[in-house]
Every structure is written in structure tokens, then in C-alpha cells.
Structure 1
Amino acid sequence: MGDTGTRTGLIQGRYRLVEVIGRGGMGEVWRAVDEALGRSVAVKCLKPMGPSQHDAGFTTVLRERFRREARVAAALQHRGVTVVHDFGEYEGVLYLVMELLEGRNLSQLLEDNGRRPLPVAEIVDIAGQVADALAYTHGRGIVHRDLKPANIMRLDDGTVKICDFGIARLGQGMGISSRLTGVGVAMGTPHYMSPEQIGGGEVDHRSDLYSLGCVLYEIATGAPPFDHEDAWAVLVGHRDTVPQPLRAHRGDIPGAFERIVLDLLAKSPGERPADAGELRRRIVPAGAPGSGRAAPAAVPLPPWTRGMTAGRPAPAAGLRLALPDHTAGLTAEWTTTADPRGALPRPAAAPARPAPPAELLSQLAGRHNAGLSLGRLGRWEEAGEVHRAVAAERGHALGPDHPDTLASRYEIGFSLSRTGRAEDALREFRRVAEGRERTLGADHPDTLAARQETAYVLGQLGRHFEANDVYTAVLAARERTMGAGHPDTLRCRHNLAFNLSRLGRLEDSHRMAGDVASARAAVLGAEHPDTLVTRYEVAYALGRLGRWTEALETYRDVAGARGRALGPDHPDTLAARYEVGISLGRLGRGAEALELYRELAADRVRVAGPEDPETLRARHGIGVNLGRLGRWDEALAQAREVSAVRARVLGEDHPDTLVSRREVAVGLGWLGRWDEALTVYREVAAGRERVFGADHPEALAGRNDEAHCLEQLGRHTEAMELYRRVAALRGRRGTQGGRDLSWAPGREPAHPVPPGP
């Protein structure tokens, strides 16, 4: 293809380059024609990066990173994100094929306006559309990292789109986007960089929110918040200086909107809006009349709401029909009756419900968001109370089957499942699934999400066969409507793989989890948290299959990747390290496992305290591996300490407490104290029967331990009677087809019963 800047060409025999329409630090953008489909497209050609182009290793890493990030960008399907059609490499040049956008970016709009600020109504509209797009991308774990006016397009029809997702991540990942000198890549522009980007700290979705605040400040005042020619002065401004209020520049900015922008520009990420969804809910009311002095007379709805009707869902397959919060004023009658022929839902015969006041809907949206925030903090009981109250009011104002009412009921179910009330959660999710099917259709993503949660709760209840049926049906619907590679489809397949392992179908579970891990790595990247969750499940299946060497290698890979991506103290990183210890123990490498668990316990104490359940789990591992090394007096003391704390913190009959109690009995047996061991084994068996039922595998294992102990005491008649009883219960369970692995003891290191003297 040669130098794309000097002549046109035909890429891969398909994309004919017509003219350069933009140049930037990473290459050129061409207007092109896709000759296979006969449509106009934009093709971004990435140029070699300065002196590093001669470094073969750098080029290889860049090429692989480009493919990964291009797949991420291509997976984004939202009206506010530029669509990526294709990508590849041709004659040494990496290229990305995108939709051709007809419009102007925000930087061009300002220039067209003589660097004068844009009208308030237009600013609010742009802010709402960008927040909507960021809510979508951030919800999929994607951070832009280089949001600026030149990367936000205002199309001729008024639609706003964010450009260069994936390309910004590409530069950031190569360690070049945040440098102000070096390879000359114009990314991470200092006027829009967050303080954490400048300081080299951890960057998450709130960094994008800060950059958006800089953009809104500029289009509202005509200049960015720290407008200096010297780059260092700009960076110091971001780090140390509070920006001037917008209304110091112009008096017609609504006070509430000014507050939003200043909140976005908070120096600490924790002081900014929690997420783009919260921001989106604040934006439109902030631009409305009465929200500040000299507000504009009206703020129009975003252009994409044109043509929406009050009560009849749009016909496009897969379209999310729940209206965004800022279009709540469009709401009317949503209660519908499903057409038995599978056609669109049709309005019910009931008279139309009057539209509730917009102010009420906004208040309810804010309270709903507060409930979500409580859940993110782990305060599930409080979150549930908030969602119950909001659901009742939404049901009264909007109807029981309105998407907003069902969204609140969905969160009630989620809170119930996280507080151990699985039966109640199951009823709630089933109710939501039925309502969404009536209103939105059986294959709508929200309906499928509710059905998937139903399957999850069935698994919590140990009803894995039923869960398997639901997961299988949901997976088929997701593959049919979204495609096999869609993130939601992959999430369902992951859950199905997890459930298969609980059914004892370990080979199937391992194979499916491996497929999902590969697909997620291809779409999201090898170190994306979702990819690592599935690789963790692959390792678990390997361990259950007795392939501990492979399990150890996989757990170590996951622990290392999580440490890099999430930090060494993140709960997921620590959980993977715990599994490394189990694998070492299973391979007979007790000394290494002991050292690992001691380090892990110290880290857990530092992060969560000495009585956190995960701290106690690590301490349990210390005791187990002391026993493996024959240090039984120390092992027994450790088991007794952990058992006592678990009984106080978790309860006498909690499975973890019972595992520790069993370890006490094991230690007593190895020390020849069989009378004491028998008492403890009986307590454990009785506790498991109370928790799981008499014929549960763990209860049967407890009685088996008791029988073995009776043998060591010479009480053979009692032992044989107990063995017969266990065999009968096991046989009865087998005829019922039951195999309940809802509690998986393989993840809690434990010893076999010691042999007799």
C-alpha cells in the first residue's frame, strides 16, 4: 500500500481510499469506499511510531495490542460510540474501518463559533448524550483515557458520538499516551488529563468523567479550565488549582449545571459522580428552567428520542426499550398484553395511565441510584429497603410492568440473593422475568437478564438441575439474538460452565470454561477481569479433575494478572493466591503452601482485619499445612483458634466452622486422642445434617468420619452399623438422581482422616 499520505490505494482488495479527512498523532483518517458493500466508510491508518518502528519486539507487541483493542472497539454497539466495522494489517500498516461520520467535532464547533461558548441548551444536550455513551462503555469495563473535544463528534442530525475507543487504550497500553515528550503521539492531551493520569496513579472510569468535565467547561466558557501555553503550568493546575466557576465567565449557565461540572473536576476520584449513569440522571434537570438564574427557556430532548411513542415498544430486535431516565417525561401506559403469535406487545385494554410528574420520576431515579450505591458498598439490607420503597412508588405511578418498576424489583431480587434469602430472591426474579416478557418480549436482553438471575439463585439453593435448564434456554436465546461472541452471551456460558461443575460434569465444565476464556481474551484482552474470572473457573475444574499441576499454573497466572490489573490487595487477587496455596498442598508441597498462607493471612489482616472470613480461611490453610508437615501440636492449636473465631463470627453450624471443627478432630486423631476426636466428629456430622440434610454428601462424609473413628476405638459393631446406614442413605440419594455440590469443599484445604495406630 505504501505511504498512505501520498496516494490512494485499495486495502485488502476491498477498501478504496479516496481522500485524507484528518491527521493526528497516530496516523491519518481517510474517506473511503467499501467496494464489497458499496458504502462510504472512514479508514484510520496507524503510522509507525517514530524510532520505535525499527524495534521488532515493539512492533510485534503493538500489532497484537492493536488487534485486541480493535476487537474491544468493535464490540461496542451504542448510538453514542463510533461503530467499528473491520480492522487488520496491510503492507505493514495497521488500519481500522469505521462508520463515516458527517458532522463536526467539538473542537471544530468552537473554532466555527470564533472560540465563543456554545448555547446552554446545546451544551446540556451534548453532556447528556456523552454521559449516556460513557455509562454504556464503562458498564463493560472500557475506559477511554483520552476524552477531549476532538474525540467527540456532533453529527449533522444532532447525534453526539465518542470516537477512538480502543485507539486511546492502545496508546495508553503502550506506555506512550501520557507522556508529554518522546514519540510525538498527541494523546492524553494535558488540557484534559485527570490528576491521577498526570501522577501515574490508577486510572478508572472516573478519569473519563474528569476529562468530560474539562470538555464541558471548555464548550461552556470557550476555554479549558486551565488554559496556559506552558504544559507544566497546565498539569500543575489540574493537580493543585480549583477551577473558576463557570458563571464567573457567563451568567446564563444554570447553577445546577455549574455544580455538575465542578463536581466532575474534583481532584479526588472519590469526590466525582460515582459513575456516568448518575451523571446522566443529573444533567437534564440541571439544564431545565428554575435550576439556576437566567436559565434558558427550554432544553430540547436529544435527537435520538425523535419518533419515540409513549406506550408502544419499537420493533427493532435486540433494542433496549426501557427509556433513559432523562426521557422519563415521555412515559405513559406501559402495561401490555403479549401477542400469542409472537408479534409486538399490544396495549392493554385498560385506560391510559396519566403521565406522572417529571419531578417525581427524577426523584425516584435518584433514590434508585442511591440504592445501587448502597449495594456497591456491600450494604445490601439497606439497598433492599430503598429499592422496595422505590418499586412501590414506581408501581403506583407507572404501573407494575413498566420497565422502571421492574428495574427496581430486579434490584430487590439482587439484594435478597446477596443477603442469603435465596427463596425470596427466586420469587422476585421470576416475577420480574414474567413482567419483562409481557412488556418487552421473551428475547429482550432485560428479560434474559432476569431469567439468568433466576438460574443463579436456583444454584444458590442447590437446585442445579433446574438451574442448568434455565441457563441452557437463556444461552440459546442470547446466541440467537446477540451472537455467540457478545459479552452477555459469554457471561451466560460462563455461568453454565460453573453450574456444570456443581453437577459433577467436570469435563464439560472444563471444556466450556476454556472456550469462554479464549473468547473473552479475544474480545476483552487476556487480563480483563472477566477473562480472569473464567480462567479461575478453568483452574477450579482442573483441580476437581485431579490435574493439580495444570491448576497450579493457571491459578498462578490469574493471581499475577489480577495483581497487575487490579492491585495486590484486591479481593480477587487475594482469592487467586489462596487457590495457589490449595494447589501446592494437593501436590504435596506443604512447606511452600505454609509460607504462602502465612503471607496471605498477614495481607488479609492488613486489608480486612483478623476476623474477616477470608482471613480465617487463610489461617485455616496454615493449620492444614502444619499438619501436612507433621507438626500436629501446632496444627491442632491453629485449628482450635480458627474454629472458635469462626463459631463466633459465622455461627456454630456455618460450613466453614464445621470444616475447622473437623480439622480439630483430625489433629486429635493424629495425636492418638481418639475419644476426644469421636466427640468432635459427631458434632460435625450432626451440624452438617442440620445444615444440608441427612443424605447430603457432606453429612454422609461426616458420618463416615465418625464410623472410622469408632473403628480406631475398637467399637467395630457400632462402626459397621453406621457404615451400613451411610450406604443406605447414599443409595437412596443415588436413585433420586441427586448430586448436590452447592458447597464445594475442594476449595477449603482439609486432611483425610488419619489411619489408626
Structure 2
Amino acid sequence: MADTRLIQGRYQLLDLIGRGGMGEVWRARDESLGRQVAVKCLKPLGPRQDHSFTRIMRERFRREGRVAAALQHRGVTVVHDFGEDDGVLYLVMELLEGRNLSQLLEDNGRRPLPVRDVVDIAEQITDALAYTHEQGIVHRDLKPANIMRLTDGTVKICDFGIARLGHDIGFTSRLTGTGVAMGTPHYMSPEQIGGGQVDHRSDLYSLGCVLYEIATGAPPFDLEDAWSVLVGHRDTIPEPPSRRRPELPGFFDPLILGLLAKTPDERPADAGDLRRRIDAARAGTAARGHSAESGAEPLPPPGPPHARPAAFPPPASSSLPPPSSPPASSGGAAEAPLPAWTRGMTTGHKAVGPPGPWPAPPDGGAGLTRAWTRPSGSAASHAPVSTAAFPPAPAAPSPDLLAVLAGRHNAGLSLGRLGRWEEAGEVHRAVAAERAHALGPDHPDTLGSRYEVGISLARTGRTARALREFTQVAQGRERVLGPDHPDTLAARQELGYVLGELGRHFEAHQIFVAVLAARERTTGPDHPDTLRCRHNLAYNLGLLGRPEEAYATARQVAEGRARVLGEAHPDTLATRYEVAHALGRLGRWAEALGGYRDVAEARARVLGPHHPDTLAARYEAGICLGRLGRGAEALELYRALVDDRARAQGALHPETLRARHGLGVNLGRLMRWEEAVAEAREVCAAREGVLGPDHPDTIVSRREIAVGLGWLGRWSDALPVYRRVAEDRERVLGPAHPETLAGRNDEAHCLERLGRRAEAAELYRRAAALSGRPVPPPD
């Protein structure tokens, strides 16, 4: 990019001051205001760049602009402007004079920073995190390179490129798909590595890694192999910082090791709790004084409480594990695997650190490097060893024992076929443990039982645990059976399915594409397993917002299944249902209606009129009728469906309540608003009792009450209902989630109808600011 470039006719680029993975940062002059600023530009990507990768990087960049612009705190970089100019995305920020923590360590000759600086940095970062977390924002990539220390001593957090807003899982999963780094391995929390739920306590773990490094000169797991670094975060208790730097104050070990706890519940509750611990530790240190022989630096007085919450009771003292404690790992068949995306991951850029291998444990036992990598003298010193974490299996297990285990495994399969998934899961877990002991953890029979454990977890809604199980089964089968073995592909296919259930559709898509290619190569395009994988791919394409491709793929699968399995086979009907769903996404409601009706009739013949799949197709036909403006027909359909659902599943079953919700919506379409409001109130109360007050379905029913009240002209009654809907969504989803913003706009519209235009205008402006849209001027 030429240094004469003028961005948006306003920002004159002067000189390049930084280059990173996502873009370039330029010193620039704001010609309108006559001040110098920093302009971050997304690097132009060549024509051969993968389109999915390009789309994700641009979405990440936009996310950084929206997130950072919503934050106003001395510890967060100020964003002045954001936009796109001639195809180049740009972000205008305050120009910071200083160095990031990685550069400070480098400037210091790879030696740790002075203790007083470490404490001051810890306090300022903690205050900034307290603020960002209160806004519902989790940074997710906190590391030395993303933390600036200015020349006046102020510390600022930068780069919100993969930050997560509230509980917006679906959006952020698209930003962190396979092949796009979710963070830097040296600073990633165990739950981030394992694909689990990530919240503000993950940032606290990353902060612990940062503080460990600037206090000791090296990160807690200082290895060049990414796999070993990730396993260290997951399984190994870090060495206390004082062992690397004895002059550290006494409170450093419990403070930092508390942040580095393996599970979020063991860490400080939030950044405010951490700040109180720092303050209490400093106060205790000041009261006791410092031993002249210790060599420890005296600590500065506490700085100003930049964003300190109200006081809480002092935290309980933490007890640290002894140095010789084994890694915090359960081992054996129950051990949580690392996700597949970590296999090819490089360590990325850590700050600095002394060269040389990680020291062996004091007891000489199998520490991190020996338990998970080959001996240091081997040619592949960092290649994972599949069996090192497991005890050796007996040479010849009893045939009688194997027969008993096979019978119990089959009993578990029978329980699953009966829909008794909880019991099936318990049986398979027990068999998996005994098979691991008798045959070894990588034996096909052991992996077969663990595969069924994953199935039972998925069927009972424990999707994150199912993800961990399928990941490890897929890895084990690939080692033992090979990457193209049908059992390996089955595990990978289930892995893709649960990733989709978790909203990680981009990762699921990549798995389905790879498995489909292997299936076609090994068993042919018309094999039932190949067709099932293509069906999953079609379904996931719809969730990725690619309805045309979803429709074309589903039609192809439906034709293939009809040819191979028959027109009336349940799998064929499942794909025909998916074809109708894709037509609906494309707005082709009349065709979708015909498809759903055909599927419903066929399922009634094959499965029975009250089978859940038959009733599901009838429900979707009602949706189509409503979209086509045929409210009277939809109402008649839903009345019958409510009766059938209640008989088959119970009056309070979530699907029965869903049908009742559809009935109420169509009462409204027919302008029968008194009845619609009464129905919505009953459904909302029932959903609150069955699903809980914060369940999305409950909130939708509550909004339907407000909609009906508005149509009846009862705006003063509708306002508190709309307000509660917006508050519930803000609490559950976060302040900037699209559904939260829609709720705020509903509330503002209601205020307008009540003549409270100033309040409405302010609410519209707040919603626009959070959404990233241009903010309208005041009236």
C-alpha cells in the first residue's frame, strides 16, 4: 500500500509502523481533525487465497471494529472510526506511544520485568478485563503482543479480532473454524484447547500465562512443539514461578497458580475477585515488610482503583499442590482428548524466553515431555506417543471375560434402540473401562464402546462431552485402523455432526467435505454411508447460510437414497424433508409446502401417524401455510397437531407447546388478537415451568404476548413485556446480540406509540451504536 494513500478521503497514511497476521498498522494523519492516529488495514489477499479463509478474516476484522468501538476504558485502545474504502477494511485507533509486553521483554534482554512493573501491569490489565467482561466481551487472545505499555506507564489491551460478545456462539464459531487459529498456544486456556465453553475465566487463565512470563522470563509451558504446549495447559501443573525467580514476593505463587487452574471454577470468580486478591496480597506484604535477606524488591503503593467493583469478603487461602504432584489428568479411557484441529498447529509467536528444553520433573518421573513425546535424543522428539499415557494391557485376556463384555456391549446397543440412552451410556462407559484394562485403550473393541458412549452423550444433549469422546475415538481409530477405515470415518462423521450441534458449522463443514471424499473414494458415491455423509453436508450448508448449495446437495442425496434404499425408506424421507427445508430458506414456500405434505403422508404410512417425525413434517407444513398467507388453513392444521402431540407426547412436551405457539401466531394473522394473547400467555407460562424463564422458546412466547397487546392498542401494557424480553435477551445473549437489539427496537417502537419520542430516539441510537450501524442524529 503506497504511503500516499488517502483512506476515505480523510486519513493520510504516513509510515508503516507494524505488520501482523491480519493486517498492517500505519501512522496516519486525520486531515479533518488535524491529529495523528493509527490506521489498521486488512492486508489485501491474493486471488489464490481460499475464499472461506478470506471471508472469515474479513469478518474477524469487522468484529474487532465493532467490539473495540463499543468499549470506553483507559485500559482499552480507543477506536475512532471503522469502514471500508475501495475494498480495503480499515480501523482508525488512537496512536499509542509505547511498547507491547513482548517487545519490553525483548528490550530487557529476555529477562523478566521488575517486580514493581509486573504488579502494576497486573493491576491495570485486571481493571481493564473487569470492564470488558462487564460489557459481556471475552477477549480470547490475551497475550504479551496484545498488551501495550505506554510511555506514561498506562497499560492497554489491544486486538479484539476474535473476541466473543456474550453468548453469540454461532457467530464466533464461524470466526474460529478449523485452520484459523483460535488463539496462541502458549496462552490458551484448557477449555479453549478442548473446544469447551469459553467465558471470562478463560481470559483470566491467559492473563496468568502472561504474568507468569513477564515475571519469570518464560511462559509456563515453554516448548517449541505446539502439541506438547497444549497438553501441558490441559494436563500438567505448572512449576511455581518462585522456582524460576526466587526473589518474587510470596503472594505471586498462589496468585498466578490460581489463575492457571485447569478448570474455570477453580480460578478467581471474575476480574474483580482477582483485583481484590491482589490488593489483599499487597496489603499483607506491606504489613509484614520484606526480609533484608530475601532480595525482593519493595512493592509500590496500590494504584488508583480504575474500575474496581464493590468490596467482597477476602478470598480463602489457596493450597498449592506439592512439586511432585502428577499431572492433573484422569488418564485411561476417560481422558479428554485434544481436538483434531490441534494436530497441525504450530506454536505461533510467544513473547520471548530462554532457549533450551523444559527441565525434567524434580522426581525424575514421566513429566510432560516424557509422557507425551519421544525421548529428547530421538529424531522425532516431539511426535505424540499414542500409548504413553496408558498402562500396558495384559497379554491374554480371558475369553470368558471378552464374551461377557461383548454381551454387555450388545445389551447397551439394545437399550439405545429402545431410546433408553441414559442407561445405554452407563453400560457402554463401564464396558469401555473394562475393555481398556483388558485389551488396551486403542483396541478396536475399546474404541467401539467409546464410540457408543459418544452416541449416548449426543442423544442426551451432552454435546460438548460427546465432541471430546468422538474426537479421541477418531484419533484412536486413525492410529489403529487407518484414516480411511469405515469405523474411522464413522467417528469423524459423528464428530462433524456434534460440531454442528454446537454451532461450529465451519469446522463441521470441513469434516463433512473430507469424510465425503474418503467415502466416495473407498465405497463409492451411492453407498448408504456416503449418502448419509452428503445428507449431513447439505444440512450444514443450510446452517452456513448457503441455501442454494444446500438445496442442490439435498436433492442429489434424495435421488440417490430413493434409488438405493427406496422411495419410502425413512432415510429417503429425511432427505426429502431437508429438500423442503432448503426451499423454505430460499423463500419458495409453495414448493416447500408440497414437499412437507408429501413427506408427512409417506411417514404416516411408513412410521405411523403419531410418530414424532410425521408430526414434525406436519408442523413445518403449517409454517409454510402461514408464510403463504393461508392463516385459516394453518390454524386448522395446528389445532389438530396440538391434539395429536398431546396424545402422543403429553400436553406439556416442548413440541406440543411449539405447536400451540404456532396456533397462537396464526390466530394473530387472522386478527383474532384477544385469543392470540390468551394463547400466548398460557404457552409462555407452560414453557417457563417446563423449560425455564430464560429459555429462548419462553422468551419468544413472551414477545408474542407483547405483539398481541400492541395490536390491541394496549401499548402501556405491552411496554413492560417488551422491556422484559429485551432485558432477558441481554442477560442471556449479551447486549449486542441481534436478538437483543431487535428487542430494544421493539421497546423503542412501543415508546414511540406512547408518544415518548425522546426516550424512543435514545433507545434507537443505543441499539444502532451496539449493532455497528450509523447512529442517527438526535431529533
Using the size of structure 1 for normalisation, the TM-score is 0.49
Using the size of structure 2 for normalisation, the TM-score is 0.48
Higher relative contact order (CA 8 A, sep 6+): 2
